[in-house]
Copies of this chain bind each other. A is one copy, B any other.
């Protein structure tokens, strides 16, 4: 793979062969070889390049690397202004683009080759820039740069001319039917590339948009709970931040952290089904009230279990009050049977709760929280998670207060 392009320079000698090609005989082997290489390269670009502007630039470079082409440029047609935007060029230009103004509105009788190609959707060949009246406004600047002939080939996307590929040669009449057929193929390829890139961009945008909607909805669900229990406002968001920091400290891949984040944002939503006066009671709860509150992982699980997350979101939520020694609820799971997401979530939940105010007590503070998880590391909490949590809170004491 890889045609080596020779960058055109003013001093370049025109090889005899290129002139031969224009004698009207069939294309010779070297011509074919050069064109097969360009074709291949263009097609590889179409598959590999992810940006339209990059694609255009590389194609101009390839074309300007052909011996008989002195300068290649691509413009996009601007429908609002009936003007053009030069988007890429390569070869010997020396300020030519600054000197050129192209318009293509109907008011102008003769819009020049580029404008005419946009208007008609047909390629325009200027066999002799010196003699062709269509090139009159740009003749002086073109001749000064050694341009003898030119071709303007439309780039068509969904039936519409979106731009023009312009090529200039220092040879008169360089663009014979064979060469134009080749350029038309290249223009067709560029159009395919534009189509693919625009489709891809649309798909990428859809992914971004869907992700925003998903997180927005999850956060709304998260905030819904706080409408009913203002004392815990921001609790789930803060737990999510701490849990993700712990997981990253433990070396989790970002995709898995995503799933943990969703579980953390939703971990208490089962409380939605528990009377607000119990949730927000400014006193110690009775045993029956505590039993009611301890239903919240199961209630939340019921709500979330039907959603097809690629992560164990509902399980993480269900298990976030399980403890390593089997003393947790609802199922008294032990050790490794508790999924890692739930072990992280459990620690983050305890630390955030202790560090914050509650209706029935003042904040116990971060120090007390870290002391609690350290003392119970290996008993209630996963030691690795505790270790990571201590590192996170030590390195970034504000992890829970930035809101």
Residues of A within 8 A of B (CB): 1, 26-29, 32-33, 35-36, 39-40, 43-44, 46-48, 185, 188-189, 192-193, 196, 200, 203-204, 206-207, 209-214, 216-221, 223-224, 227-228, 269, 272-273, 275-276, 299, 303-304, 306-310
Contact = CB atoms under 8 A, between A and B. Distances in A.
A370 to B, nearest CB: 33
Closest 5 CB pairs of A and B: A216-B307, A43-B43, A210-B210, A227-B273, A32-B32
Contact of A219 (B185, B212, B306): B306
Of A47, A217, A275, most B-chain CB atoms within 10 Å? A217
Contact of A207 (B189, B203, B224, B307): B203
A209 B259 CA distance: 13
A276 B275 CA distance: 8
Contacts of A204: 203
A303 B193 contact: no
Given A1-B188, A40-B185, A43-B189, 10 more contacts: A26-B29, A32-B33, A40-B43, A43-B47, A212-B308, A213-B214, A214-B214, A214-B217, A219-B306, A272-B272
A188 B306 CA distance: 44
Contacts of A36: 32, 35-36, 39
Contacts of A306: 216, 219-220
Contact of A29 (B32, B196, B209, B228): B32
Contact of A228 (B196, B200, B221, B273): B273
Contacts of A308: 209, 212-213, 216
11 contacts: A29-B29, A35-B36, A36-B36, A40-B43, A40-B185, A47-B192, A203-B207, A212-B308, A213-B307, A224-B303, A227-B272
A192 B40 CA distance: 12
Contacts of A217: 214, 217-218, 221, 307
A309 B213 contact: yes
A218 B39 CA distance: 49
A257 B346 CA distance: 41
